[in-house]
Structure 1
Amino acid sequence: MHLLIMRHGEAGWHSLDQERTLTETGRHQVANCAAQIAASPWRPVQIWSSPYVRARQTAAIVSEILNCPVEEKPFITPEDDPGTCLNALLENQHTPLMLVSHMPLVGSLSTLLVDGHRRGIPFMTAQAAVLDMPVVGPGCADLKTQFLP
């Protein structure tokens, strides 16, 4: 399975966390990263998005550029347990799959899949990482590449 994990684009701070929206810079970051993914061999066939506004906006931009559907998942918000997402990945049939979420979840999930622990690596806004997992499980993924805004 190939999994692309992406952090949402830059968002403003003018509202409640769940309602924060992308800035103009954030929209450009996301479009730039999506264009790089479009030119790569890892174009997703499905996008999972956090229900938070900035993640939904990020997923919509990526979806438009890559022409793939988006499905909201309630278990990929900032403070969710990466183990819950791991369980959902075990049942997933889509590959490559893209997950659009937030720090600290994107960092802790990536670290869990690559290194087998949950300390968390940093992600810039609109950054995406491609993981290759012959088997979905802790420590089973290899980091193949990253896309920066």
Structure 2
Amino acid sequence: MILWVRHGQSTWNVIDRMQGHELSPPLTELGRQQATQTAELLADREVVRILSSPAVRARQTADIIAERLGLQVVEDPLLLEKGLDEDYASVLVRVQQLLEQDLPRHTVAVSHGDTIGLAVGLLSGQRPELPANGSITHVDPDTRQVAISMP
């Protein structure tokens, strides 16, 4: 089961600016707090691997989680959010490629709202929704039920 984590609030989230494949917007102080709280929520899970979008805001979130869990972060460009010149079909292809990988149970994937929404939609058959910053979303592989944890 993949535990999908949306990165903490970034400086561009605050001004409601589209980020796309822009890698540089960092986390705000609130974003770092969200990541720390998310790490605490994940501490009770049997997480064995942390994947992260290469975007700074996602990587900073993943690094905070990894430090708390004593794990290393592996960057995966399949987790990037929709680029400004990219269509959602392309993002779906990337998400499907990630889902086809033989990932260990309890993998954390730190990504972006649109990418997570599409992944959860594929896994659950439900309409994709934008998760909140710092939230953890997972889909039960047997029931296809979606569960969301907030920091």
TM-score, normalised with respect to structure 2: 0.81
Runs of 4+ in 1 over 4 A off after TM superposition: none
Residue 42 of structure 2 is aligned to residue 37 of structure 1:
yes
Shift of 1:91: 2.4
Following the alignment from structure 1 to structure 2, what is the Cα–Cα distance between the partners of residues 29 and 94? 25
SS of 2:23's partner is helix
CA distance 1:93–1:109, shift in 2 (3 Å): closer
CA-atom RMSD in angstroms: 2.2
Shift of 1:67: 1.6
Residue 85 of structure 1 corresponds to 95
Query: For residues 3-25 of structure 1, what are the alpha-carbon distances to aligned partners after superposition, in whole Å with 9 as ceiling and x for unaligned?
Result: 10010001103997320000111
Following the alignment from structure 1 to structure 2, what is the Cα–Cα distance between the partners of residues 85 and 6? 14
Query: For residues 69-101 of structure 1, what are the alpha-carbon distances to aligned partners after superposition, in whole Å with 9 as ceiling and x for unaligned?
Result: 211011111116133232233222411111101
Shift of 1:146: 2.2
Selected match of 2:138 from 126, 130, 141: 130
| Percentage of identical aligned residues | 30
The answer as to whether partners of 2:120 and 2:138 remain within 8 angstroms in 1 is no
Shift of 1:66: 1.4
User: Tell me, which stretches of 5 or more residues in structure 2 are unaligned?
Assistant: 83-89
Following the alignment from structure 1 to structure 2, what is the Cα–Cα distance between the partners of residues 33 and 115? 26
Letter in 2 for 1:9: G
Residue 79 of structure 2 is aligned to residue 57 of structure 1:
no
Letter in 2 for 1:127: S
Shift of 1:68: 1.9
Query: For residues 90-133 of structure 1, what are the alpha-carbon distances to aligned partners after superposition, in whole Å with 9 as ceiling and x for unaligned?
Result: 222411111101121111111111116xx521211001112232
The answer as to whether partners of 1:9 and 1:126 remain within 8 angstroms in 2 is yes
SS of 1:98's partner is strand
Selected match of 1:94 from 104, 119, 125: 104
User: Tell me, which stretches of 5 or more residues in structure 1 are unaligned?
Assistant: 135-139
Following the alignment from structure 2 to structure 1, what is the Cα–Cα distance between the partners of residues 64 and 74? 14
Residue 5 of structure 1 corresponds to 4
CA distance 1:82–1:45, shift in 2 (3 Å): farther
Following the alignment from structure 1 to structure 2, what is the Cα–Cα distance between the partners of residues 34 and 53? 17
Letter in 2 for 1:3: I
Shift of 1:52: 0.4
Following the alignment from structure 1 to structure 2, what is the Cα–Cα distance between the partners of residues 102 and 122? 9
Following the alignment from structure 2 to structure 1, what is the Cα–Cα distance between the partners of residues 91 and 118? 9
